[in-house]
């Protein structure tokens, strides 16, 4: 690979390969793979951040709506379920739900069977907003992976699926 075509990861791996040249435990392929996955996710985060930069609708708003839409019973969950799924505190989720309720994107209703429980539901406006942003996200992800052919994507998915399954062993 010509020097000008080497990406930052190649440079990183070459540097570590030289540093660890006498260590048989170091595998430059593993280092390269993990570093590339991290770079892809950093790129995705930058694209996502830019997509929400000029909007009152935040990434956190979208994430909350998205989690609500993909629950086992789409568009319905408790605040505790959403907080757990988002990996945030219940207080943080309350703040998110306040914003979404004020914007007319969700409702919070007392469960008629258990009055201690609150059910959060999306509104038509919330579903429309989620739909618009989810399609924009799909386009960003496709753009991010544009260097791969459909066959490449199938192969990469197959390989990464194996890695994910091995984490469960």
Eight-class DSSP state of 114:
-
pLDDT of amino acid 5: 52
pLDDT of amino acid 142: 95
pLDDT of amino acid 6: 58
Domain residue limits, the chain: 1-54, 55-139
- Please state which CATH number belongs to domain 55-139: 1.10.10.10
Cα 97 from Cα 126, distance rounded (Å)? 12
Local structure of 107: helix, strand or coil: strand
Provide the β-strand partners of residue 166.
none
Percent share of the chain, pLDDT over 90: 67
pLDDT of amino acid 2: 44
Q: pLDDT per residue over 89-121, tens digit each? A: 999 999 999 999 999 999 999 988 888 899 999
Tokens of 109: 């209703």
pLDDT of amino acid 158: 95
Radius of gyration of the chain (CA): 21
Instruction: Give the CA angle between residues 19, 25, 31 to the nearest 5°.
Output: 65
pLDDT of amino acid 58: 92
- Please give the backbone phi and psi of residue 23, each rounded to the nearest 5 degrees, phi first: -105, 110
pTM of the model as a whole: 0.75
Cα 27 from Cα 34, distance rounded (Å)? 11
Residues of the chain with pLDDT under 50: 1-4
């Amino acid at each position: 690979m010509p020097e000008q075509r080497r990406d930052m990861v190649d440079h990183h791996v070459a540097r570590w390969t030289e540093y660890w040249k006498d260590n048989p435990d170091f595998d430059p392929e593993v280092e390269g793979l993990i570093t590339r996955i991290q770079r892809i996710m950093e790129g995705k985060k930058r694209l996502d951040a830019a997509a929400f930069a000029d909007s009152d609708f935040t990434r956190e708003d979208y994430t909350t709506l998205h989690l609500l839409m993909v629950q086992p019973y789409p568009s319905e969950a408790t605040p505790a379920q959403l907080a757990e799924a988002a990996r945030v505190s219940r207080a943080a989720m309350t703040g998110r739900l306040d914003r979404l309720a004020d914007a007319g994107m969700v409702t919070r209703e007392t469960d008629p069977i258990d009055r201690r429980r609150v059910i959060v539901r999306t509104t038509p406006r919330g579903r429309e907003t989620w739909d618009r942003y989810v399609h924009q996200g799909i386009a960003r992800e496709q753009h991010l992976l544009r260097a791969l052919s459909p066959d490449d994507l199938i192969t990469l998915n197959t390989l990464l699926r194996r890695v994910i399954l091995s984490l469960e062993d």
